[in-house]
Structure 1
Amino acid sequence: MAKKKYDYSPNDFVVYPAHGVGKVVSIETQEIAGFELEMFVIAFEKDKMTLRVPTNKAEEVGMRSLASTDVVADCMKTLRGKAKVKKAMWSRRAQEYEQKINSGDLIAIAEVVRDLHRADDQREQSYSERQLYEAALERLTREFAAVGNGNELEAGTEITDTLQSRVSAA
């Protein structure tokens, strides 16, 4: 039997929209309800979670390869931009931010980080605002680290420095 060619191989880093960066551990076949299904087994180290995604559904669910260095550069541009905060009710905005975070789109996640970032001299964030900001920042940091040298601390510092420089320039 010929070996199938997949978009991802074991040890590849991938992005699953709802969970962020994970690593393909293996490709296995499981029998589910009498059908043979081939699955990507993806480990999310930080969350201590393993996800199985049918190989034929990976694209449909939005699973993708890590962002290119060009996309990371575009994200940095986005972070340097001016925060765009709509005047809509918080519940509506929170819903939009949540959708952006779970979209898996790195630029959209960078927009959330930029829009929710607060400088020390700005008003306090509400609990839910802080939660969304931290979730977006973590997703962004993990993917930046995976694209770069794998060091999340350095990636986080780079993002924070970029946000701070934007604030001090304003």
Structure 2
Amino acid sequence: MYQVGDNIFYPLHGAGVIKAVEEKEVSGEKQEYYIIKMVLDNLKVMIPESKIADSSIRHVTDLASLKKVANMVEDEESDEILPWKTRHNVNMNKIKTGKLKACAEVIRDLIRVKKADKLNSSERRMLGKARDFLMSELKLIEGIEEKQIERFMLKLK
């Protein structure tokens, strides 16, 4: 399914590169593990091969898909203003999907709320994490230039 050298996105962890597939013994049971070097925090994550399908890991998006997402996010309106607890749950569920468009929507929507009102501390942290996740993926998109990253991020403001 995935191979060493693949750029992947792991929800709630960000983007990374599969560095190895190794057999490890855990609790007396041998399994194959994907060893992933994450862009954020220089973290190393090990995921059992048997759990990879259920983990919502996906390949990092390509430049053409990024452009489509940028246009969709820019053209779409935010959801109606929700109470902050509901908004927090909706946004967390979007981030958990690991989809680029969903993460970009969270950033866009929280920035719009920030401009209209003040974000509470949990929403400020969520906005920061969503930006980190997005930037980690943008850094691994093949063929992307720094100016394209900057333009994409500007569309979210």
TM interval, short-chain normalised: 0.7 to 0.9
1:36 maps to what in 2?
30
Structure 1 gaps, min length 5: 1-6, 165-170
Higher helix proportion: 2
Name the % identity.
Answer: 24
Residues 18 and 102, structure 1, Cα contact 8 Å, conserved in 2 = yes
SS at structure 2 position matched to 1:117: helix
CA distance in 2, matches of 1:52, 1:150: 28
TM-score for both structures, normalised by structure 1? 0.79
Encode CA deviations 1:137-170: one digit per residue, 9 max, x unaligned: 222222122114476x645522232235xxxxxx
Structure 2 gaps, min length 5: none
SS at structure 1 position matched to 2:101: helix
Which amino acid is 1:100 matched to?
K
Residues 12 and 23, structure 1, Cα contact 8 Å, conserved in 2 = yes
Which amino acid is 1:159 matched to?
F
Check if 1:162 corresponds to 2:155: yes
Encode CA deviations 1:13-42: one digit per residue, 9 max, x unaligned: 111112110111111001122221000011
1:108 maps to what in 2?
102
Q: How many residues align?
A: 157
Check if 1:144 corresponds to 2:138: yes
Q: Residues 88, 121 of structure 1: CA spacing in aligned structure 2 closer, same or farther, 3 A cutoff?
A: closer
Bigger Rg, structure 1 or 2? 1
Which amino acid is 2:103 matched to?
I
Alignment of 1:79-90 (within 5 A): 79-90=73-84
TM-score for both structures, normalised by structure 2? 0.84
Residues 80 and 163, structure 1, Cα contact 8 Å, conserved in 2 = yes
Check if 1:125 corresponds to 2:103: no
SS at structure 2 position matched to 1:84: coil
One of 50, 63, 72 as aligned partner of 1:69: 63
One of 13, 17, 21 as aligned partner of 2:15: 21
